[in-house]
Amino acid sequence: SYTMVGPNGGVDLTKTDKSLWGILPRASEFLMGYLNEKVNEGTMTFEAKASFLQIYNENLYDLLKDSGPMIEERLIETRNATDRDNKDSDLLRIREVPKPRSKLASTKELPKEVYVSGLSEFRVQTSEDILRIVTVGTQNRITRSTDFNATSSRSHALLQLTFEIESVSPTGQTLISKSKLNLIDLAGSEKLPIYTENTTKHVRELSNINKSLSALGNVIAALASTTRSHIPYRQVI
């Protein structure tokens, strides 16, 4: 978390010296600074939105809505729900839908788009807007004290930035481009201490962290291979 966000997990970035910032705030400052510079030059306009979520024990949570106690309550609601579609159980879900077909597209099916249903999204205009979102989110993130870090992250966090940029080409044609950037802070792998409080809960956390990191390693290895055709994105370990 120090490398990706900053000191103490980035709980107060707005008051932290920039030299101590992690990759997330640095990247945000660079991107928003560049875009606003182009706006001032009159070469483009843009709209940007930000979302911030965490993956804890293989469940998705909105870091801009959910704090630690709320997460425990929502898990209880989910376990007690008798109807799979019970509206009281509003854990975030990953959805996959086909991209809209274009009249100019071939008959081959277009790639599917993956999104997180129910995730809050906020418009941002400056890097300070993103820093405030990261600050709120990191305060809601699940942490646990370890031998090496008093605020070690027990979840994977994902800052998602979406951009819609409108510019004019040299020929006078209006160009609209859309892009999405995912900045991820992974929880660190850890061995289970011999003596620990809440052992069952701790074991579950570490097991899920290690399994997800192993699955990610398998995906990276497959992507880097020149002989493997199947990428195990959906592998369950």
Residues 62-92 have pLDDT tens digits of: 999 877 666 766 666 655 654 455 444 557 8
Model confidence at 111: pLDDT above 80: no
Q: What is the mean pLDDT of residues 129-140?
A: 90
Report the phi/psi class of residue 55: left, alpha or beta, with left for phi > 0 and alpha for psi in -120 to 50: beta
Whole-number pLDDT of residue 51 = 96
DSSP 88: T
Rounded to whole angstroms, how far apart are CA atoms 41 and 73? 50
Whole-number pLDDT of residue 220 = 92
Lowest mean pLDDT among 3-12, 117-126, 182-191, 194-203: 194-203
Confidence category of residue 191, pLDDT binned at 50, 70, 90? confident
Whole-number pLDDT of residue 38 = 93
152: amino acid identity, one letter: S
- Can you tell me whether residue 213 is helix, strand or coil? helix
Query: Nearest CA to 70 among 171, 11, 139, 157?
Result: 139
CB within 8 Å of 24: residues ≥ 6 apart: 4, 5, 10, 134, 159, 183, 185
Residue 81 to residues 45, 72, 130, 147, Cα–Cα distance (Å): 46, 14, 35, 38
Rounded to whole angstroms, how far apart are CA atoms 166 and 36? 13
Q: What is the mean pLDDT of residues 41-50?
A: 94
Model confidence at 193: pLDDT above 70: no
0.85 surpassed by pTM: no
| % residues pLDDT > 90 (the chain) | 34
- The residues pairing with 59 across neighbouring beta strands, listed in sequence order, are 56
Rounded to whole angstroms, how far apart are CA atoms 29 and 33? 6
Rounded to whole angstroms, how far apart are CA atoms 80 and 89? 9
Whole-number mean pLDDT of the chain?
A: 81
- The residues pairing with 116 across neighbouring beta strands, listed in sequence order, are 94
Q: State whether the Cα torsion 90-92-97-100 is positive or negative.
A: positive
